[in-house]
């Protein structure tokens, strides 16, 4: 099993055995088609997290949960399927020990590996997908394994139900496919709170592509798309899910070098803090 290379995050000190949530970085962007750099997301967030308060005024809670920071996986830059297998193996190891996987990307393709691992324990997994892009192409640039095909590959996994929000970019065929096969809510996040009741106690994986935010809020991403959510709009939608049975989540597609101000990385770290608190088991 490939073990992560250790690096501190939020100065979390809980050991692996005692932790309920395991954070790991996945620094890979090998299928990036426009502006690469999301492989630097985990390291930038680790550094910026030192400037983030542990206390959330939004949830009136302090980040003092049994969370273990496992560091970054050492991933090759080559074959994306090999990278997916490596991440899936690691997450299976976590799931077998009843740990909640929390992946910091890296590109969006990597979410497929986490979903595959979670399906071994949760065969009726629901996916909440927040993104500017549909990511539903059957192939892109000759490959079926790309950041532009990840939701199509997840859809093909047996048992997954996908609830997609915020999408405002894609081929006409992708929008048609989404409307026919997904619980599809393009453009806005306003419908997200209504999802809580029908989900009940079903297992849920949340995949948050940071480009769901408007580029004026988070310009540091590889494929920015105008017309996105504001920070408070996104956070309010996420906090409406409090009590949902989250069994894992990810934040992907931060490309910190594309925002020299560093604000994009701070936004990502703040969202991570809020999601860690949101995901705690009451």
Please give the mean pLDDT across all residues of the chain: 93
Per-residue pLDDT averaged across 4-25, rounded?
80
Q: What is the CATH number of domain 21-278?
A: 3.40.800.10
Identify the burial level of 194 via C-beta atoms within 10 angstroms of its C-beta, where 0-12 means exposed, 13-18 middle and 19 or more buried. exposed
Residue carrying structure tokens 């991403």: 221
The closest alpha carbon to 73, from 6, 119, 131, belongs to 6
Q: How far is CA 71 from CA 48, 102, 127, in A?
A: 15, 11, 25
Model pLDDT, residue 282 = 45
Each residue's pLDDT tens digit, 151-201:
999 999 987 899 999 999 999 999 999 999 999 999 989 999 999 999 999
Neighbours of 134 (CB within 10 A): 24
Model pLDDT, residue 7 = 53
For residue 106, is the peptide bond before it cis, meaning its omega torsion is within 30 degrees of 0? Answer: yes
Distance CA 269, CA 50 (A): 10
The closest alpha carbon to 259, from 37, 8, 28, 7, belongs to 37
The half-sphere exposure of 87 on its side-chain side, counting CA atoms within 13 A, is 33
At 10, the pLDDT band (50, 70, 90 cuts) reads: confident
Instruction: Print burial letters for 138-152: b (CB count within 10 Å at least 16), e (below 16).
Output: eebeeeebbbbbbbb
Residue carrying structure tokens 């059957």: 138
Domain boundaries, the chain: 21-278
Each residue's pLDDT tens digit, 188-234:
899 999 999 999 999 999 999 999 999 999 999 999 999 999 999 99
Check residue 214 and report its DSSP letter.
Answer: -
Check residue 35 and report its DSSP letter.
Answer: S
Residue carrying structure tokens 């009940």: 200
Residue carrying structure tokens 């969006």: 108
The closest alpha carbon to 54, from 44, 63, 67, belongs to 63
Q: Is the dihedral of CA 36, 25, 242, 125 positive or negative?
A: positive
pTM of structure: 0.95
């Amino acid at each position: 099993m490939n073990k992560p290379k250790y690096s501190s995050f939020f100065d979390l000190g809980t050991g692996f055995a005692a932790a309920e949530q395991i954070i790991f970085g996945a620094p890979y962007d090998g299928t990036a088609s426009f502006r690469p750099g999301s492989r630097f997301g985990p390291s930038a967030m680790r550094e910026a997290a030192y400037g983030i308060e542990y206390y959330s005024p939004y949830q009136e809670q302090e980040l003092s949960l049994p969370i273990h920071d496992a560091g970054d996986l050492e991933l090759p830059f080559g074959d994306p399927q090999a990278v997916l297998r490596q991440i899936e193996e690691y997450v299976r190891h976590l799931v077998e020990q009843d740990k909640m996987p929390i992946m910091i990307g890296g590109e969006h393709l990597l979410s497929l590996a986490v979903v595959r691992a979670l399906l071994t324990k949760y065969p009726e997994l629901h996916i909440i997908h927040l993104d500017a892009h549909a990511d539903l192409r059957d192939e892109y640039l000759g490959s079926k394994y790309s950041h532009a095909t990840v939701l199509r590959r997840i859809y093909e996994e047996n048992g997954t139900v996908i609830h997609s929000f915020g999408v405002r970019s894609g081929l006409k065929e992708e929008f048609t496919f989404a409307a026919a096969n997904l619980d599809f809510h393009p453009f806005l996040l306003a419908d997200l709170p209504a999802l809580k009741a029908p989900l009940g106690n079903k297992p849920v994986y949340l995949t948050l592509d940071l480009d769901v935010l408007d580029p004026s809020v988070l310009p540091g991403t590889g494929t920015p798309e105008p017309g996105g959510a504001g920070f408070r709009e996104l956070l309010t939608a996420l906090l409406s899910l409090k009590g949902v049975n989250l069994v894992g989540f990810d934040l992907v597609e931060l490309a910190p070098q594309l925002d020299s101000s560093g604000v994009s990385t701070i936004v990502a770290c703040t969202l991570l803090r809020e999601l860690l608190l949101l995901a705690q088991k009451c």
